[in-house]
Amino acid sequence: MRDATLSVPHRLTPAWLVRLRSTQTATVVGAALVLIVAIGVVFAPILTAADPLALSSDILLAPSWAHPFGTDDLGRDTFARVLYGGRASLVIGLFSAAISVVVGMTIGMLAGFFGGALDEVLMRITEAFQILPKLLVAVVVVALLGSGLTHEVLVIGLLSWPGTARVIRGRVQVIRHEEFIAAAEMSGASWLRVLIRHVAPNVLPFLLVSASLQVASAIMSESFLSFLGLGDPAHPSWGLLLQQGQLFLSEAWWLTTFPGIALAMTILGLNLVGDGLR
Amino acid sequence: MLTPVARLLLRRLALAVPLVVAVVTFTFFLIRLAPGDPAAILAGDAPTPEFLAQIRAEYGFDQPIWAQFLAFLGKAITGDFGVSLYTKQPVFTVILERFPATVLMTGTAMIVASIIGVLVGVASANRAGSPADAAISAASLLGYSLPGFWVGQLLVLVFAVGLDWFPATGMEAARASYTGWRHVEDVAWHMVLPVTTLALFLLTLIARFTRAAMIEALDQDYVLVAEAKGASRGRILWHHAFRNACVTTVTVIGLEFGAVLAGAVVVEIVFGWPGLGRLFYDAIYRRDFPLLTGAFMFSSMIVILVNMVSDVACALLDPRIRR
C-alpha cells in the first residue's frame, strides 16, 4: 500500500523540496529574510548586551554606536527591544499558526473525504468564519477575556483556519478518487487509517504552503492586537513597540522605523517562501 | 415564481441571518465568560452599588439565563446596544455619529483601490510573464506584506513630519472653520495619507486576484473567437475577458471587507481620524465594554451585509452563478 502512495506526485520528499528550491529565487530570498530575523531573535543575548526592559536616563536618543536603533522615552535600548520583541511575535505566530493549520487540516480532510452532508455543514461553517471580521472578533475577545500570550495564540489560531481548510478539502477531493485509496479501503483499512496513512502524507506539501502563509498572517494579526493596546505588556512584541512609537512619531522616527522593518521583513519573507512553494 | 436573483437573495439571507444571530450570541457568552461579574464589567471601574443594581435590572441579570439571552438578542438586532459608560449616550447614537467619517475614508479607499487594482491586474495579465508583470507581482506581494498601520506611520514620518506636504492627523484643520468648497478641499487634503494607506492593502489584493482571473479568462475559446473575428485588443480585454474576470474582483472585495474595516481601525488611530476605529480604541482604553461590544456587533453586521451585496452583485454580473 505504501508503494502506491509513493507514486503520487507532490509527495513531500527531500528531492521534491530541493527541486522546488532551485527553481524559485523568490523562495531563497524569502528564506534568507526569515533566517536573518530568526538569527537575530534567537541570538539576541549574544548580539546585544543591553537589557530590553532596563530603564536609563538616556531618553529618546537618536541611533548611535552605543544604541544602534536609538532609545525610547524610558531610556530603553530599541535594538535590544526589537531583538527580544521578535521572540514574542514569533512565538505567537508559530503557535497560533500551528493551531490554525491543525484545525484547518482536520476540517478540510473530513469535508473532502466524506463529502455529502458533512461536507455541506463544514463548508457553511468555514464560509461563516471567512465572512466574520476576524481581527475585530479577536479584539473583542482579548479585550473582554484579558490580554496575555495564551489568549492571543488561541484567538488568532482558532479564527484563521478557513483558508487552510478550503485548500486541503480541494486537494483531498482529488486524492479521494486515486486508486491507492480504493486499494487501501478494499484491503480493509479503517477510514481513520486511510486518512492518516494515505491521505495525510499527500496533503503535506500543501500544508507546508499554508503553514508559512499562516505564520505570516498570525504575526500580522498579533501586531494588530498589540497596536491596539491588547498585547502582553510583560512580553513586548513588535506591535507593542509600534504602538509606543506612535506616541513619539514626530520626535523619534527610530521607534517606529526599526520594529516595523523587522516585522515587514518577517512577513514578507514568510509570504515569499509560501508563494514560492506553491 | 421568484426570479433567479430573488431566489439567490433569499438563499444568502438564509446564511446571513444565522450569522448575525451567531455574532450576537457569541458576544453575549463572551460577556458572561469574561472574568468577574458581568454587571461589574458593564459598569466599568469602581461603580456605585446603585449603578450596579441599575445595570443588573437593565440587563436582567436577575432573570434566568435564557431570558437574559433572548432580551440581549432582541435588543441587539433592533440596534439597542446599551449605553456607553463614558459618554452615557446610547451606544447606537455614538456609533452613528462616528460612522460617516469611516464610510467616507473606507469608501474612498475602496473606490481608489478597485480602479487602480483592476487596471494594474488587467495590464499585467495582458503582458503575463513579461518583466513588467514580474515587477508588479513582486510589488503587490510587498504591499500585501506590510502592516497597514506601519505604512501609515511611515507616510506620516515622510510626508507630514519630514516634508510637511500633508497634515499628519485629523479630518479638518483644527483652527480654521472652513465652509462650502473650502471645507471639501480641506477634508480631501486630510484624506490623502489615510486613504493611500488603506487603499494600498486592498489594491494589491485586487490586482493579484484580477490578474489571475484575467489570465484564466484570456485562455478561453471565446477570446480566440473574438481574436479570429478581428476584435481589437482593448475590446477583447475589457468586453470579453474582464466581464468574466470581474466576478473574482467583486468576490475578493466582499471577502476582504472585514479586513478593510479592521485596517480602517488602525489607520484611523495612526491618523487621528474621528471614525469607528477611534471608537474601538477609546472603548478598549476606557474599558467601555457596552461601547466595544456594540461597535463590534455593528461592524460585523455591516460586514455580513456587504458580503451579501457582493454575492448578489456577482450573480447579476454572471448569469452562470444564478442557476
Q: Give the CATH number for residue B154.
A: 1.10.3720.10
Domain presence at residue B16 = yes
Domain that holds residue B153: 4-35+98-322
CB contacts, 8 Å: A131 with chain B: 19, 255, 258, 303-304, 307
Residue B234: CB atoms within 10 A of its CB come to 9
List the single best residue of A126, A127, A136, A156 to mutate versus B (max B Cβ within 10 A): A136
Contact B206, B121 (CB under 8 A): yes
CB contacts, 8 Å: B300 with chain A: 132-133, 136-137
Q: String of b and e for B95-124 (b: at least 16 CB within 10 Å)?
A: beebbebbebbbebbbebbbebbbebbbbb
The pLDDT confidence band at residue A3, using thresholds 50, 70 and 90, is very low
Domain presence at residue B54 = no
Which of the two residues, B186 and B91, has the higher pLDDT score? B91
Of B269, B296, B303, Cβ closest to residue A131 = B303
Chain B: residue whose CA lies nearest to A137: B296
Q: What is the pLDDT of residue A101?
A: 92
Of A132, A143, A145, Cβ closest to residue B300 = A132
Of A133, A224, A253, Cβ closest to residue B299 = A133
Report which residue type is found at B12. R
Give the SS3 label for residue A71. Answer: strand
Domain presence at residue B306 = yes
Q: What confidence tens digit (pLDDT) does each residue in B92-101 have?
A: 888 888 888 8
CB contacts, 8 Å: B147 with chain A: 220, 223-224, 242, 260, 263-264, 267
Domain presence at residue B62 = no
Q: What is the pLDDT of residue A96?
A: 92
Q: What confidence tens digit (pLDDT) does each residue in A162-176 have?
A: 988 988 888 888 888
**Average confidence (pLDDT) over B275-296:** 82
Q: How far apart are CA B11 and CA A196, in angstroms?
A: 36
Report which residue type is found at A272. L
Q: What is the pLDDT of residue A1?
A: 34
* Percent with pLDDT over 90 in chain B: 2
- Could you tell me if A247 lies within 8 Å of chain B, comparing CB atoms? no
> Domain tally for chain B?
1
C-alpha grid cell, residue B164: 510637511
List the single best residue of B25, B28, B85, B153 to mutate versus A (max A Cβ within 10 A): B153
User: Does B145 sit within 8 Å of A143, measured CB to CB?
Assistant: no
| Distance, C-alpha A103 to centroid of its chain | 14
Of B22, B41, B262, Cβ closest to residue A135 = B262
CB contacts, 8 Å: B257 with chain A: 133
Of A132, A143, A264, Cβ closest to residue B292 = A143
Domain presence at residue B88 = no
Contacts of A77 (CB under 8 A, 6+ apart): A48, A50, A51, A52, A54, A67, A69, A71
Contact B215, B197 (CB under 8 A): no
How many CA atoms lie within 13 Å of B205's alpha carbon, on the beta-carbon side? 22
pTM for the structure as a whole = 0.82
Q: Check whether B50 has a pLDDT greater than 90.
A: no
Domain presence at residue B74 = no
Domain presence at residue B66 = no
Q: Which of residues 11-30 of A touch B (CB under 8 A)?
A: 26
Domain presence at residue B40 = no
Contact A94, A154 (CB under 8 A): no
Torsion of CA A264, B253, A93, B278, to 10 degrees: 80
User: Does B15 sit within 8 Å of A128, measured CB to CB?
Assistant: yes
